[in-house]
Amino acid sequence: MDAMDSTSTRRRATRAKLYEAAVTLIAEQGFSATTVDEIAERAGVAKGTVYYNFKSKTELFEELLRYGVGLLTVSLQAAADETAERGGTKVEALDEMIRAGLGFIDRYPAFTQLYVAELWRTNRAWQSTLLVVRQQAVAVVETVLREAVENGELSEEIDIPLTAAALVGMVLVAALDWQAFQPERSLDDVHSALSRLLHGRVSGR
């Protein structure tokens, strides 16, 4: 039943080293400005190994995108599920998802940079991969919003896709700004600022 495990442990480890190296370099410099030689060197691997494991530089990058967004989606979903299990409201679930999102960005800042930098480009090879992968992540938020509207926690007037996009954007940009321009702030600081926005506790006292 196993056997056909086409990727050996060894190969997986090599690939992981390559992802790790590529994500940092591409986040800093962009895809085109990053050379395959650099990636190989940083991963401590021969250039030929890159091409033994991936058919091209572009393919390596696309796999990286899939892998990274997969991690994010799992983490968002886990936050939503845990809140549900312990009987929390949907708005609490959203709040926990914001925290999970911030945690992800805190752990993988380079991936986040790279994702944002590529997401809205047009005419690039991996555009369709990105579209799929983005929808995966946003869908988790949309589902919780939808449930919250159904059980009356949120107004029926909200526009679910737009609100989901805005929430994701808010977290993404606030977190990147935090990392880039105010790294001394704590995750809790950032979380509570965003949470306040979510709960409409900005205006009024």
**Which residue ranges make up the site for DNA (CB under 7 A)?**
7-8, 10-11, 13-14, 34-37, 44-49, 51-53, 56-58
Q: Pick from 14, 15, 31, 75: which binds a second copy (CB under 8 A)?
A: 31
Three-state SS string across 52-87, please?
HHCCCHHHHHHHHHHHHHHHHHHHHHHHHHHHHHCC
What string of DSSP letters covers 98-110?
Answer: HHHHHHHHHH-HH
Residues 6 or more apart whose CB falls under 8 angstroms from that of 28 comprise 110
- Partner whose footprint covers residue 170, from DNA, a second copy, none (CB < 5 to 8 Å by kind): a second copy
CB of 187 to a second copy, least distance (A): 12
- Partner whose footprint covers residue 29, from a second copy, DNA, none (CB < 5 to 8 Å by kind): a second copy
Tell whether residue 96 is a contact of a second copy (CB under 8 A).
Answer: no
Residues 6 or more apart whose CB falls under 8 angstroms from that of 106 comprise 175, 179, 187
Nearer to a second copy, 47 or 185 (CB): 185
Nearer to DNA, 45 or 170 (CB): 45
Q: Pick from 11, 12, 16, 28: which binds a second copy (CB under 8 A)?
A: 28
The amino acid at 118: E
Nearer to a second copy, 44 or 169 (CB): 169
Tell whether residue 125 is a contact of a second copy (CB under 8 A).
Answer: no
C-alpha 115/C-alpha 135 separation (Å) is 13
Nearer to a second copy, 84 or 198 (CB): 198
- Partner whose footprint covers residue 157, from a second copy, DNA, none (CB < 5 to 8 Å by kind): a second copy
Sign of CA dihedral 169, 172, 174, 176: negative
Element spanning 117, H or E:
helix 109-119
The amino acid at 78: A
Of 95, 90, 106, 97, nearest in space to 74 by CA: 97
CB of 22 to DNA, least distance (A): 11
CB of 2 to DNA, least distance (A): 11
Contact positions toward a second copy, by CB under 8 A? 27-33, 91, 113, 116-124, 131, 153-159, 161-163, 165-174, 176-182, 185, 189-190, 192-194, 196-205
